[in-house]
């Protein structure tokens, strides 16, 4: 398919999605949300785009701006920001989908753009990237971003970022946990990550992320779910066959 607000490419088990509204700072609008939702549905499908299940989804923006947040022009024209549910559910798909989501950030990120970053499994940022929540300057607050942001960096850091409204540097975002890796060459860092991530199987990713979504981090509270998950993976015949093959042949599951 061709898209109005995105550039999308599939190669083997990788899908790259680039925001493509450069004239408005890749601002989020209803068509973008719909198109992103469609791409992620394809990625979540059993056969992906070309018969190979997608295991890695990369979200990226432009060199100067990753995503400036919601489209204020749409708000002024319509007198309403619209229903927030589709965008929130889109971030849930990124966070919980049966693939690894990587946000590749080379420029400025603001407001709703931070939602895409916080909902991603891995965030790679160029050293000139910046992150901000400007909503309170306009009498708003990032209600839909905060659950994802708090999960990533904790409540107080998210609270401080919301109140201050000023941009956070890539280095500070790395220190807070919003970013996982910073690099002078973000594209090279992505290639290094993909070289490792491409070995992960779709069933393992889906099973792991489903477990992680319900993991509270409290060893007592999580005991039953942890034991159940452990028993399930060690009773999977495909997993056991891969382990036996490694023991006997010293070959990983993806090796011929």
Catalytic residue among 135, 185, 187, 228: 135
What is the Cα 181 distance to its own chain's centre?
Answer: 14
Q: Over the range 170-182, which residues count as b (16 or more CB within 10 Å of their CB) and which as e?
A: beebbebebbbeb
Of residues 114, 121, 177, 168, the one with CA closest to residue 144:
114
Of residues 150, 151, 147, 157, the one with CA closest to residue 215:
151
The token pair that represents 249 in the structure block = 């042949």
Catalytic residue among 35, 60, 71, 180: 71
Q: Is 222 an active-site residue?
A: no
Q: Is 63 an active-site residue?
A: no
Ordered DSSP codes for 74-141: HHHHHSS---SHHHHHHHHHHHHSSSEEEEEE-SEEETHHHHHHHHSSEEEEETT-EEE--GGGGT--
List, by residue number, the catalytic residues.
Answer: 71, 135
């Amino acid at each position: 398919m061709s898209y109005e607000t995105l550039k999308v490419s599939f190669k083997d088990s990788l899908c790259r999605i680039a925001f493509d509204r450069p004239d408005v700072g890749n601002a989020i609008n209803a068509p973008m949300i719909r198109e992103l939702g469609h791409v992620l549905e394809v990625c979540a499908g059993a056969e992906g785009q070309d018969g190979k299940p997608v295991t890695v989804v990369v979200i990226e923006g432009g060199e100067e701006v990753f995503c400036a947040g919601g489209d204020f022009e749409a708000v002024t024209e319509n007198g309403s920001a619209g229903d927030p549910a589709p965008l929130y559910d889109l971030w849930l798909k990124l966070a919980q989908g049966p693939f690894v989501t990587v946000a590749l950030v080379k420029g400025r990120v603001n407001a709703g753009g931070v939602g895409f970053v916080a909902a991603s499994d891995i965030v790679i940022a160029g050293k000139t990237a910046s992150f901000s929540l400007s909503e309170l300057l306009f009498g708003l607050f990032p209600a839909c971003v905060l659950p994802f942001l708090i999960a990533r960096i904790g409540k107080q850091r998210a609270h401080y970022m919301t109140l201050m409204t000023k941009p956070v540097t890539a280095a500070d975002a790395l220190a807070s946990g919003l970013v996982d890796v910073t690099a002078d060459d973000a594209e090279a860092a992505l290639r290094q990550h993909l070289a490792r991530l491409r070995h992960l199987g779709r069933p393992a990713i889906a099973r792991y992320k489903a477990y992680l979504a319900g993991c509270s981090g409290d060893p007592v509270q999580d005991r039953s779910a942890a034991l159940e998950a452990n028993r399930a993976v060690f009773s999977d015949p495909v997993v056991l066959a891969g382990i036996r093959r490694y023991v006997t042949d010293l070959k990983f599951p993806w090796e011929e």
